[in-house]
């Protein structure tokens, strides 16, 4: 079941979503990379940080969403980054057979949408030049109420038949990624961080998840059922993430991996 992304909804909490990207790329010890690629670049606002860090590099942002790429191409980031539509599972650098031509390969909050992404790691590592860097970050909060409430509600009638095929994100723990990349001959630094995002506004946690993890479920629902699903989803989220006047606190665990390719 396919779904589309809304760049503007995704950017509602751009600062909070961007912090893990910054924490990830600060651990990449590349000095003068020539080719830098952001796989799953979204609206491109974070890819621009790669161009700012390595201004002499050719920086490319790749995303499978035409909506996201259009947003990126129309943004200020397009002045320093080339954006293109591509699937993480199939993308290869232009003019390359796909082997070892990228100096820094970054993927931020993307691999969790590919159920087989652990098996995809050898192909991604193979895109990187020996001595180059492969770094990615994925959410690790799928046991939190922001996800479990959606799953529980989606399993109830009358919603269940409509959302059975909707995409659901998932990831592994840091140790699993570390060992998988060590098996590929990489030097690996893997860690996790839990951020405490303080969100403001009406139903802020719903606003957050409706732009990412819950979006495929919401889009899968027919128009006559979506309003009741959203209303109940919001109610349960307000109970799980109460706002005492200082904002709702959303704990968000992230898994980080930075690998040096041999």
User: What is the rounded CA–CA span in Å between residue 103 and residue 25?
Assistant: 13
Report the pLDDT value the prediction gives residue 30, as an integer from 0 to 100.
97
The lowest-confidence range among 58-62, 209-213, 219-223 is: 209-213
Report the pLDDT value the prediction gives residue 22, as an integer from 0 to 100.
94
Q: What ranges do the domains of the chain cover?
A: 7-260
Which fold would CATH assign to domain 7-260? Rossmann fold (3.40.50)
With tokens 């909050």, the residue in question is 109
Report the pLDDT value the prediction gives residue 132, as an integer from 0 to 100.
98
| Average pLDDT estimate for 111-124 | 97
Q: 183 falls in which pLDDT band (50, 70, 90)?
A: very high
Task: Give the whole-number percent of the chain exceeding pLDDT 90.
Answer: 90
User: What is the rounded CA–CA span in Å between residue 245 and residue 226?
Assistant: 29
pTM score = 0.94
pLDDT surpassing 90 at residue 97: no
pLDDT surpassing 70 at residue 11: no
């Amino acid at each position: 079941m396919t779904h589309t992304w809304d760049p503007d909804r995704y950017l509602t909490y751009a600062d909070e979503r961007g912090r893990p990207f910054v924490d990830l790329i600060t651990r990449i010890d590349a000095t003068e990379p020539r080719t830098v690629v952001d796989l799953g670049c979204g609206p491109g606002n974070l890819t621009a940080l790669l161009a700012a860090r390595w201004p002499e590099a050719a920086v490319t942002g790749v995303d499978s969403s035409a909506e996201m790429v259009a947003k990126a191409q129309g943004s200020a980031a397009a002045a320093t980054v080339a954006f293109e539509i591509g699937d993480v599972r199939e993308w290869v650098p232009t003019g390359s057979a796909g082997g070892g031509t990228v100096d820094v390969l970054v993927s931020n909050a993307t691999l969790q949408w590919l159920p087989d992404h652990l098996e995809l790691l050898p192909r991604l590592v193979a895109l990187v030049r020996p001595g180059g860097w492969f770094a990615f970050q994925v959410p690790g909060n799928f046991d939190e109420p922001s996800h479990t409430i959606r799953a529980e509600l989606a399993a109830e009638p009358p919603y269940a038949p409509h959302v059975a095929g909707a995409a659901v994100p998932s990831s592994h723990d840091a140790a699993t990624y570390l060992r998988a990349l060590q098996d590929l001959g990489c030097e690996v630094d893997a860690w996790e961080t839990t951020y405490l995002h303080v969100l403001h506004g009406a139903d802020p946690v719903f606003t957050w998840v409706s732009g990412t993890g819950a979006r495929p479920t919401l889009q899968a629902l027919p128009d006559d059922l979506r309003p009741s699903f959203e209303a109940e989803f919001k109610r349960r989220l307000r109970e799980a993430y109460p706002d005492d006047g200082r904002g709702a606190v959303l704990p968000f665990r992230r898994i980080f991996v930075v690998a040096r390719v041999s």
